[in-house]
Chains A and B, each alone.
Chain A
Amino acid sequence: MKYVDEFRDGALAQSIARAIAAEARATRRYSFMEFCGGHTHAIARYGVADLLPENVRLIHGPGCPVCVLPIGRIDQAIRLALEHGVTLCTYADTLRVPASGGLSLLRARARGGDIRMVYSVNDALRLARENPQRQVVFFAIGFETTTPPTAVAIRQARAEGLSNFSVLCCHVLTPPAMQSILDAPEVRELGQVRLDGFIGPAHVSTIIGSRPYAFFAEEYRKPVVIAGFEPLDVMQAILMLIRQVNDGRAEVENEFTRAVTPAGNTKAQALVAEVFELRRSFEWRGLGELPYSALKIRATYADFDAERRFALDYTPVPDNKACACGAILRGVKRPQDCKLFGSVCTPDTPMGACMVSSEGACAAHYTYGRHAEAAA
């Protein structure tokens, strides 16, 4: 696959690994947070950590939108299917997330809920067209990469007069989450979490551009290097971060120049701005309530807002007390540090969201990384 295989080349990996080992100063440690579920997955899947020296550590931040989706939102989706009898369309990633009452979307389907897995929001539009007598609701999750398609779909629904289509909007934003990490006491004051820089998300950045990250470089004096999706991109970005740290710089650099520009995709941004606006506050699993961190559908498109159409309340649901997802999402703990990891909490029986999505730090570590721990 062109533009994919070249960025997975093992020989180049070895040579960048040598460069990293040479330039990482033996006298200090480097901790970089990656902020993109895709990066978490790529790092685990390719064993990137094996190619890094011992003093360079990667922390998995809250870049997995399924992981930060609160239980209360899944409950809303389940209620739509079971109580309001809608056809609920969702990306596959959410199907197995445990929600309230021992349910998940998958279990709700087994109970008779009409819950359909879709690859694209277009599939939901198609279902709405083909079934005019049914209410079709699209469960919209995701960061800025996934929001523009939802915006396009809502405009399309209006243009076609698809009155049986609506969207349960749970889209969230990347910079506020980054800010909450950097503002957390563990990072700011207590020095518990060393954070030397960020590996910026790949595809979110194609949409928002590299400019929004300048705030973090300037305000918090943390380097940000936007990295492409493939493992070589991640390694190159780590090298660039190490260089910044060594030089005492805190800048935004772009490793993913083949797809990311400073301004980003302005067409997509405009479409999003037309359909959505900021929620004053939104609950993030593991991070708590964050201001201006998520989107809702504007009044002008209210007809397509499932929360309004079905008068849905939001009830926050606390996480299992022993679940360490919150700390893990903030980079304070590692999966292995959680009491439930690997015993009670496994991909088959997930207790928290970090385990249920394959991008979640716990699932990635369990599925791909357990071998690195000492033999039992």
Chain B
Amino acid sequence: MCLAIPARVVEIQADDQAIVDLDGVRKAISLALVEGVEVGDYVIVHVGYALTRLEPEEAEKTLALMAEAGLLTEPRQA
């Protein structure tokens, strides 16, 4: 049960509510499952709830690992 998407928190409201923005699309979601989320953070949104905050440094690290994977091998002949 997986469809979830990272979106940026643009507004925090009362009662654990927040507004997230995804490329201009705004959605009201609940922060009841997370803690310490601030405006500007990215959260992973699933069925109207933030599941977790997305860690930007880890994202960069993962992308770097992926880029590295390709560098260690010679490009194959088609």
Touching chains A and B, CB distance < 8 Å = yes
B35 touching A203, Cβ below 8 Å: no
A residues 281-299 touching B (CB-CB < 8 Å): none
Beta-carbon contacts of B44-74 to A below 8 Å, as 1s and 0s?
1011110110111011011101110111111
Are B70 and A18 neighbours in the complex by a CB distance under 8 Å? yes
Q: Chain B's nearest CB lies how many Å from the CB of A33?
A: 15
Cβ distance A246 to chain B, nearest Cβ, rounded Å: 14
Partner of A236, one of B3, B35, B55, B62: B62
A-B contact count (CB 8 A): 146
Q: Which B residues are CB-close (under 8 A) to A149?
A: 30, 33, 46-49
Asked whether A113 is an interface residue with its Cβ less than 8 Å from the other chain, the reply is no
Residues of chain B in range 9-65 having any CB-CB distance to chain A below 8 Å: 22-23, 30, 32-35, 42, 44, 46-49, 51-52, 54-56, 58-59, 61-63, 65
CB of A273 closer than 8 Å to a CB of B: no
Q: Please determine whether B71 and A15 come into contact, CB atoms closer than 8 angstroms.
A: yes
Interface residues on B, range: 35 or more
Residues of A close to B55: CB separation below 8 A:
257-259
A204 located at the interface, meaning its Cβ lies under 8 Å from any Cβ of chain B in the complex: yes
**What are the residues of chain B within 8 A of A239 when measuring CB–CB?**
69
Which residue on A lies nearest to B75, using beta carbons?
Answer: A18
* 143-157 of chain A: CB within 8 A of chain B: 143, 145-146, 148-149, 152
Decide: B4 and A1 in contact? CB cutoff 8 A: no
Find out whether the CB atom of A255 lies under 8 angstroms from the CB atom of B62. yes
Nearest opposing residue in chain B for A207, CB measure: B51
A3: CB under 8 A from chain B?
yes
Report B28 CB to chain A, min CB distance, Å: 9
Contacts of A12 in B (CB 8 A): 63, 66-67, 70
Q: Does A322 sit within 8 A of B, measured CB to CB?
A: no
Task: For B2, give the chain A residue with the smallest CB separation.
Answer: A38
- Complex CA gap A357/B56 in Å reads 33
For chain A, the bracket of interface size reads 35 or more
Nearest A residue to B48 via CB reads A120
Task: With a 10 A CB-CB cut-off, give which of B1, B44, B47, B66 has the most chain A CB atoms.
Answer: B1
Complex Cα–Cα for A121 and B46 (A): 11
Return chain A residues, CB-CB under 8 Å to B67. Answer: 12, 15
CA distance A257 to B58 in the complex (A): 6
- Contact of B52 (CB < 8 Å), options: A1, A36, A38, A265: A265
Q: Across the interface, do B75 and A204 meet the contact criterion of CB distance under 8 Å?
A: no
| A3/B47 in contact, CB under 8 A | no
Q: Are B48 and A119 in contact, CB atoms less than 8 angstroms apart?
A: yes
A258 touches B58 (CB 8 A): yes
Considering the complex, give the chain B residue whose CB is closest to the CB of A15.
B70
Q: Which of B1, B33, B62 contacts A265, CB < 8 Å?
A: B33
Most interface-central of A21, A121, A145, A201 (chain B CB within 10 A): A145
Give the chain B neighbours of A22 by CB distance below 8 A.
Answer: 73-74, 76
Chain A residues positioned under 8 Å from B76 (CB to CB): 18, 21-22
Which single residue of chain B is at the shortest CB-CB distance from A19? B69
CA distance A256 to B63 in the complex (A): 11
Known: A122-B30, A267-B35. A3 touches B66 (CB 8 A): no
Q: What are the 6 A-B residue pairs with the smallest beta carbon separation, nearest first? A: A15-B70, A38-B2, A120-B48, A142-B1, A258-B58, A3-B6
5 A-B contacts, Cβ less than 8 Å apart? Answer: A3-B54, A36-B2, A145-B46, A146-B1, A229-B4
Q: Which residues of A pack against B, CB within 8 Å?
A: 1-4, 6-7, 12, 14-16, 18-19, 21-23, 36-39, 63, 65, 91, 119-123, 141-143, 145-146, 148-149, 152, 201-204, 206-207, 228-229, 232-233, 236, 239, 255-259, 265, 267-268, 271, 359
